[in-house]
Amino acid sequence: MFKKILIANRGEIALRVIRACKEMGIATVAIYSKVDEESLHVKLADESVCVGPAPAKLSYLNVAAIMSAAELTGADAIHPGYGFLAENSDFARVCEQCNITFIGPKPDQIAKMGDKATARKIAKDVGIPMLSGTGLLKDAEEAAQKAEEIGYPVMLKATAGGGGRGIQIIYHPSQLRTTFDRVRTEAAAAFGVGDCYMEKYCEHPRHVEIQVLCDTHGNYLYLGERDCTIQRRHQKLIEESPSPVVNEDLRKRMGAAAISLCKAVNYSNVGTVEFLVDENLKFYFMEMNTRIQVEHPVTEMVTGIDLIQEQIRVAAGHELTIKQEDIVFKGHAIECRVCAEDPERMAPSPGLITAYHPPGGFGVRIDSFVYQQYKVLPFYDSMIAKVICHAATREEAIAKMASSLSEYVIAGIHTNISFQRKIILHPRFKSAQYDTHFLEEFLHKN
């Protein structure tokens, strides 16, 4: 097992990894930018190293500085969390070359599956259903030609990254050139890679993803599904497990499809295979995320499996001790992402937190890195906390979440807490009668 792990990330996911390591008796190293010195992950790690100024490209994306920090502190492994360098195959390869274990898939697995255009081709080759689409697009002219062949509306997507960035829907040829340039620019700024591809846009889908866990000994597991349909501008806001529309037959078929994809590339570590599910419960492959997900806690709550610790064990070469038949789903879990923003204008709200009171109680989990007198920074993602509620039924989980959100106090900045509570209590959410357009319709009517 590893003796010391450097966490190449910040915020709540850095804290999550630090806590998992402490339970396993593994020392931790936090990295931070100059403006992040007062962040909680810096305070809780055994050691910490400043890797640069505020801009992410000069700190949390600064491979040379991160590798220097790892060597300086004697870390024998690096956990990338999600975002930043988590799906960067070049970074994983540098770790390998420096004899430092990257806690995630192998570089070639990330290159194949983390690149969404390549992943589509592999999924097609193994027979997974998918919407019509393209490979890597070289320019706007090719994009226009392919869009005519596929038929509008189409979705233009960056091959790297996530978090709703680098995704645009195109309804008319007149939108294509400017949209193509915008997606490439946004993707290059966010992920360092501006490549993109296109697929047919599904008008009224649900977004359902399968969690996979694979080791290097030929064991492949799927840990059920998460429903991530509640989104705003392709950014997930609320996630739950199990999905209220997925039955046992569909779960098994989606799980089998996810495992066939993993086997095609000898995948190891955790990953998420994302699907669109239409009104007729037909599913279509969308992409694979070769990292831990923001929404991983809902899977942990219903399965009782610590995904971060499993990541670490698999990366250390250990064989999984659980089998597919051991995975049992207990109850229902819902996660709400708490963001420092004005939800009406979708505008970030950095600033000083003057009062802070998180909710608690049986089945309530808060993953956060903020505290009273913490200054929320304008340089990074606006998510500052996740509220996860687990109960015996979906109805009880909704009631518990509504109660928890009403108790959550974060003063001094704007947050989307009350906005999330309105969604949770909406009749259509309660009855699970919605698709990915729900929030657009909700905002229009309110």
Q: Does residue 245 contact residue 277 with C-beta atoms inside 8 Å?
A: yes
- Alpha carbon 335 to its chain centroid, in Å, reads 12
Q: Is 291 a catalytic residue?
A: yes
Q: Are 154 and 198 in contact (CB under 8 A)?
A: yes
Look-up of token digits 């255009």: 117
Rounded-to-integer distance, Cα 314 and Cα 269, Å = 6
| Dihedral sign (CA 301, 348, 443, 436) | negative
| Helix, strand, or coil (residue 196) | strand
Residues 6+ apart with CB under 8 A from 341: 347, 348, 349, 382, 414, 415, 416
Half-sphere exposure of 39 (CA within 13 A, CB side): 28
Which distant-in-sequence residues (6+ apart) come within 8 Å of 191 by Cβ? Answer: 158, 160, 161, 165, 166
| DSSP string of 159-180, one letter each residue | SS--TTTTEEEE-SGGGHHHHH
Which one of the listed residues 120, 251, 291, 365 is annotated catalytic? 291
Rounded (to 5) percent helix, strand, coil in the chain: 35, 25, 35
Beta carbons within 10 angstroms of residue 184's beta carbon: 20
Do 110 and 89 contact (CB within 8 A), yes or no?
Answer: yes
Q: How many helices (H) and strands (E) does the chain have?
A: 15, 22
* Buried b / exposed e along 40-55 (16+ C-beta atoms within 10 A): bbbebbebbbbbbeee
What residues have CB less than 8 Å from 303, skipping those under 6 apart? 223, 224, 327, 328, 329, 330
- Paired strand residues for 49: 31
Which residues make beta-bridge pairs with 395? none
CB 154 within 8 A of CB 170: yes
Active site residues: 291
